[in-house]
Amino acid sequence: MNTPISDFLEKYTTSGALRLHMPGHNGATPHDITEIEGADSLYETDRTKSIIGESEKNAAELFGADRTCYSCGGSTLAIQAALAILKSQGCKTIAASRYSHKSLISAAALLHMNVKWLYPEEYLSADVDYSGSALDGCDAVFMTNIDYLGGVCRLPNTKLPVVCDNAHGAYLKFVDKTKFGEKYLHPTEFGFPVMSAESAHKTLPVLTGGAYLHFAGGADFTRAKEMMAAFGSSSPSYLMLESLDKFNKFITERPDAVNFACEAVANLKRKLEGFEIPIKESDPLRVVVNAYEYGYNGFNYADKLRQNGVECEMSDRNHAVLLFSAATTHRDCQRALTAMSLIPQKKPIPKAVYPVLKPKAALPAYDAMFMPQKKVPLAKAIGFVCGGIIAPCPPCVPLVMPGEIISDEAAEALRLYNVKEVAVITKVR
């Protein structure tokens, strides 16, 4: 498959042209350019005669999408654009899992949209029940395909517009489902119209910030570029665009790369069972260690890994999460196994209980976010109305939303993430 963006950058950087244009480093990073003649503009792309449009078309074909738009602002920009498209279609209220990424609530607040929260049975799970009256009063659905602990969610076919946060699942399009699980679908395989926001950089060999907004199953993409421009930088990174462009060639030339990585991780999981290291069921490119069963809280287990030369994706009181990618090799997995096997097993400790919070809302989030507020110690915030998005990172999932009352239970959950102070609204209690 051709790489029109990369080819253009290489041709320009070897031309010897005097760079009297941005960026200011004057070519110190040769492929980092701006929208010069021939480079096109990310948000004003004519697919029939532009290098970005051609590259996006290549990506759409690979992912089975009707249309693919590149993002240089991660899945966050893709989610913002998707919600703006919904807004333009008259959407006022979205149904979403309580444990959605903070970009959902910030985008909804900026667009003056309401979110109807659907609650899972377990903290951080994206798996919620969309049946019955769950979608009553809603104009659209926001779902998460792969959650932070590798769980999945399935949405029955619905007539409502659907936005899918597939940030952790871009690689799923290239997974052999017969080997690694029929439930690990890519959104373009759902069988109904969907806008899918996904971070290429999380599990594919793409630079940080490189992402996609896919439209599949007949989802309307007519205003996609316009809405991406409304939130995205007018100076998108050509280094990110080039890495997205190069992935098209990578996966064309190495169509089994993802499956090779999945097999390496599956082999690691089998070996971990032999070492009696407890792990949680998760998607094919993730290992979630139940650290509490091994005698550690997740933070301490992550520290032990770090001492053994391995940096994990995230940890909490109960788990340590190791995230692999399409570039993962058996050698990488062997290094992970060695590091984990060097951690001595201890007596299991009690599992920390993260409650599924259902705070009462005193104000809409789109009002609360922009009201006067101040930061106070967590212990003094109880009873006040939350002003900001309290989302410890990782996983960047809000525990308390703007406009919600901070209860004793909410404060205890925040303590589990070592939150010391929060922003509260000063005029409402």
pLDDT tens sequence across 270-279: 999 999 999 9
Residue 48 pLDDT > 80: no
Start-to-end Cα distance in the chain: 59
Question: Above 50 in pLDDT, residue 74?
Answer: yes
For the chain, the farthest-separated pair of C-alpha atoms sits apart, in whole angstroms, at 66
CA distances 210 to 74, 112, 243, Å, are 5, 27, 8
pLDDT at 4 over 70: yes
At 406, the pLDDT band (50, 70, 90 cuts) reads very high
| pLDDT over threshold 70, residue 139 | yes
Mark out the alpha helices in 177-297 (DSSP H runs): 177-180, 200-203, 224-231, 238-253, 257-274
Domains of the chain, by residue range, sit at 4-253, 257-341, 365-425
Confidence (pLDDT) at 342: 98
Give me the residue label for tokens 């809280």. Answer: 297
How far is the C-alpha of 423 from the C-alpha of 402, rounded, in Å? 9
Residue with tokens 């395989």: 189
Tell me the pLDDT of the chain averaged across its residues: 95
pLDDT reading at 162 higher than 70: yes
Higher-confidence residue of 133 and 391: namely 133
- pLDDT confidence of residue 47: 62
CA angle 9/10/11 to nearest 5° reads: 90
Q: Stretch 140-164: mean pLDDT, rounded?
A: 94
Task: Evaluate if residue 428 carries a pLDDT over 60.
Answer: no
Q: The domain 365-425: what is its CATH number?
A: 3.90.100.10
Which pLDDT belongs to residue 69? 97
- Please report the pLDDT score of residue 180 as a whole number: 97
Q: Determine whether 116 is exposed, middle or buried from the number of CB atoms within 10 Å of its CB (0-12, 13-18, 19+).
A: middle
- Class of 257-341 per CATH? alpha beta
pLDDT at site 353: 87
**Which one-letter amino acid corresponds to residue 13?**
T
pLDDT, greater one: 49 or 320: 320
User: What pLDDT is attached to residue 46?
Assistant: 61
Q: What pLDDT is attached to residue 45?
A: 61
Q: Which range is least confidently modeled, 67-76, 145-154, 418-427? A: 418-427
**CA within 13 Å, CB half, 284:** 29
What type of residue sits at position 308?
N
- pLDDT value at residue 397: 87
Q: What is the pLDDT of residue 429?
A: 46
What's the average model confidence in pLDDT over 405-418? 90
Confirm if 323 and 282 have CB atoms less than 8 A apart. Answer: no
CATH for 4-253? Answer: 3.40.640.10
pLDDT of residue 237 exceeding 70, the answer is yes
Residues 6 or more apart in contact with residue 218 via CB below 8 angstroms: 66, 193
pLDDT at residue 391, as a whole number: 82
* pLDDT tens-digit readout, 244-255: 999 999 999 999
| Section 54-63 average pLDDT | 97
Q: Is 365-425 the same fold as 257-341?
A: no
Q: Does 320 have pLDDT greater than 50?
A: yes
